[in-house]
Structure 1
Amino acid sequence: MTFTSTRRKALSVAFSVATAALCSAPTAQAQSYPSKPITIVVAYPAGGDTDVLARVIGDKLTSRLGQPVVVENRTGAAGTIGTAYVSKARADGYTLLLAPNTIAITPHVLKGTGTSTDPASELTAIVQLGSQSLFVVATTSTGASNVKELVAKIREGKVGSYASPGAGSPMHILGELFDRSAGVKLTQIPYRGSAPAVADLLGGQVPMMYSTLGPVAPYVKAGKLVVLGVADAKRSPFLPDVQTLAEQGYKGAEVGAWQALMGPKGMPAEVVQLLNRHVNEILKMPDVIARMDAVALSPAGGDPAQLARLVAGDYARYGKLVTEFGIKAD
């Protein structure tokens, strides 16, 4: 054997070994993941629907993955601070984001400010956790028992504003769509989250708001607030007697909310699939379903591609609506 052929053989073996190492790297990474604590970032204050859900999922993942999964609240700027933090983190699966569909709206509201993140192109979709309906909620002092009566009060000048958890929130979008559908114009009073909005609603500072059911449910049950309609294509299983807006004659005002687990762009596919599998199984657990029921959140699940399509579709839809209504940051 000549020196040349020997050298060629050696190079061929080296190339084969290197190729095998490269091909096995993702699998090895998935098998060793996780080897340290995982952080789930929530871009909103503790105690809200998103935070509660993150802690439920984090607790279950801790026992299943054998590593601590901690929740970190990075709040501010309508959720963009926490979202941007995750988008810039290492895409190794150790920094994740649990977020509502507000992340598909705020980038358009804050466009040009340098603080927005495009969830469709700057984040990795892992799994949709659940969906929530938005409701039209009013104080009993309005005297309205359905949406038509509420609209009559608005036209009489007895109801002129509504509370929302912030400009560019799904609730704000719903407010604009409802105004257009009903032919009225209400003034949005933006708050920094649902909790202070509900407090002022109960205090009589504002007569109505658009909200998920969780923050208002105790007060509805106590007779302090009344739910007039649901902004969904069908009635909510949590309040089946409440008619949709379309059923009451107000079409084109359908806005829902969802929660999802995402990560930085470029996460290894094996890690994404591992997390997706575990979360899909977690969402079927009776105690998890019960915890989600408590905030009127219906489990979703599905594969990463389903969530990616949902995010991209909402991002495009809300971009058009934000432009159409001229919605800007607070």
Structure 2
Amino acid sequence: MTFVPNRRRALSAAFSLAVAFAAPMAHAQAFPSKPITIVVAYPAGGDTDVLARVLADKLTTRLGQPVVVDNRTGGAGTIGTGYVAKARADGYTLLLAPNTIAITPHVLKGVTGAAIDPAAELTSIAQLGSQSLFVVAATSVGVSNVKELVARIKEGKVTSYASPGNGSPMHILGELFDRAAGVKLTQIPYRGSAPAVADLVGGQLPMMYSTLGPVAPHIKSGKLVALGVADSKRSPFLPDVPTLAEQGFKGAEVGAWQALMGPKGMPAEVVQLLNRHVNEILKMPDVIARMDGVALTPVGGDPATLSKLVASDYARYARLVSEFGIKAD
């Protein structure tokens, strides 16, 4: 009988210890216990926004909590990116971003709050998709391939191109194309693809560099023609359009990608949970169909692979922005 109190104390201590160890596990298993926000640093309606809303809808069903999209625009994407970088790293504030996230910090170097290194200041969760960039011309220019376009440029009949903004992947491609072709075109930067495409179709400009989504309807209608793709291989969305390298213009490869990221220091178990769901979502036929609509190829993969891609692009674009002297508008 004299040992009963000691036994009770031992059992009580053991129970308390078990609860203490179980608490963090229970907390991790409870994610998510409240709504999740996916920040998009660009206006509604663009490729990034469309993808974010598709993903939010699927995650809402799978996670059992509302997943909402928050468009925090401005500062060439730095406002939304900075917001997420400073958010609590608990998985409830995420960022869906295009690869401009690896370019903009170099273009806006010296601007307060803009120099965010995505490889060091954000957590990689999963790459969502990839997009090819195309050389597109107005049909009125009268060319059917890149060699003919370059001939028009050297004759002085084509002197400028439209881009969705300084420091965009399209601007980078413009500089690389000039070097590969031995020409010099004047960039006309717009605030996004939509107004650039409108002026191209309207005849104010002869050509532009673009992802396929914004120009696809006009290519189909015959008002625009895709002359080349700036990728290592042909696009499955326009397989008859040869790459720039195939046409003799090497060294002008620039692609676009979309990725899901979060604040630095997110719990590994939360990252893995989100990564698993994203990879499964990207295999859904209806999601693939929606991505096809904006010419996005599903990619997926693990967080480490995305981290390497982000770091590699960040370093590459640092060199190119410096080399070409690209600065903010």
* TM-score for the superposition, normalised by structure 2: 0.94
**Who is 2:53 aligned against?**
55
Q: What is the CA deviation profile of residues 138-195 of structure 1, one whole-angstrom value per residue up to 9, with x for unaligned ones?
A: 1011111100000011111111111111111111110000000000011111111111
Partner of 1:89: 87
Q: Kindly tell me: are residues 25 and 329 of structure 1, through their superposed partners in 2, closer, same or farther at Cα, counting changes over 3 Å? A: farther
Identify if the C-alpha distance between structure 1 residues 25 and 259 changes in structure 2 by more than 3 Å, giving closer, same or farther: farther
Q: Which residue of 1 aligns with 2:132?
A: 133
Q: What amino acid sits opposite 1:60 in the alignment? A: K
Structure 2: gaps spanning 5 or more residues: 1-5
Give SS of 1:134's match: strand
Matched with 1:173 is 172
Structure 2 residue aligned with 1:293: 292
Contact 1:104 1:119 in 2 (8 A): yes
Task: Tell me the residue number matched to 1:153.
Answer: 152
**Where do residues 101-120 of structure 1 align in structure 2 (5 Å cutoff)?**
101-116=99-114, 117-120=116-119
1:182 maps to 2:181: yes
Distance in structure 2 (CA, Å) of the matches to 1:24 and 1:305: 29
Which residue number corresponds to residue 33 of structure 1?
Answer: 31
The gaps in structure 1 that reach 5 residues or longer are: 1-5
- 2:3 matched residue in structure 1: none
Give the Cα–Cα distance (whole angstroms) in 1 for the partners of residues 42 and 221 of structure 2: 27
Query: The residue matched to 2:39 in structure 1 has which SS?
Result: strand
Task: Provide the rounded CA distance (Å) in 2 between the counterparts of 1:192 and 1:141.
Answer: 24
The C-alpha deviation readout for 1:215-273, integer Å capped at 9, x for no partner, is 10000000010000000000001111000000000000000000000001111111111
- Give secondary structure in 1 for the equivalent of 2:148: helix
- TM-aligned CA deviation for residue 115 of structure 1: 2.5
Asked whether the equivalents of residues 27 and 270 of structure 1 are also in contact (C-alpha less than 8 Å), the reply is no
- SS at 2:257's partner residue? strand
Q: Which runs of 4+ in 1 moved over 6 A?
A: none
The amino acid across from 1:106 in the alignment is T
Provide the rounded CA distance (Å) in 2 between the counterparts of 1:51 and 1:311: 20
Secondary structure at 2:214 match in 1: coil
Residues 96, 158 of structure 1: alpha-carbon distance in 2 compared, 3 angstrom cutoff: same
Amino acid at match of 2:307: A
TM-score, structure 1 normalization:
0.93
- After the TM superposition, which residues 202-241 of structure 1 pair with which residues of structure 2 at under 5 Å, given as runs? 202-241=201-240
State the distance in 2 between where 1:171 and 1:123 align: 24
Partner residue of 2:40?
Answer: 42
Indicate conservation of the 8 Å contact 1:42/1:51, yes or no: yes
Distance 1:110 1:20 in 2: 50
Provide the C-alpha distance between the structure 2 equivalents of 1:289 and 1:254, rounded to a whole number of angstroms: 25
Q: Tell me the residue number matched to 1:3.
A: none
Distance 2:130 2:27 in 1: 32
Distance in 1 separating the partners of 2:236 and 2:153: 29
2:273 corresponds to: 274
- State how far apart, in whole Å, the 1-side matches of 2:210 and 2:16 are: 58
Residues 140 and 25 (structure 1), Cα distance of their counterparts in 2 relative to 1, 3 Å cut = farther
| Inter-partner Cα distance in structure 2 for 1:306 and 1:209 | 31
Q: Which amino acid aligns with 1:305?
A: A
Give the letter aligned to residue 28 of structure 2: A
Deviates more, 1:251-260 or 1:71-80: 71-80
| Contact 1:162 1:208 (8 Å CA) reproduced | yes
Inter-partner Cα distance in structure 1 for 2:212 and 2:256: 11
Q: Secondary structure at the match of 1:131?
A: strand
Aligned length: 319
Shift of 1:307: 0.5
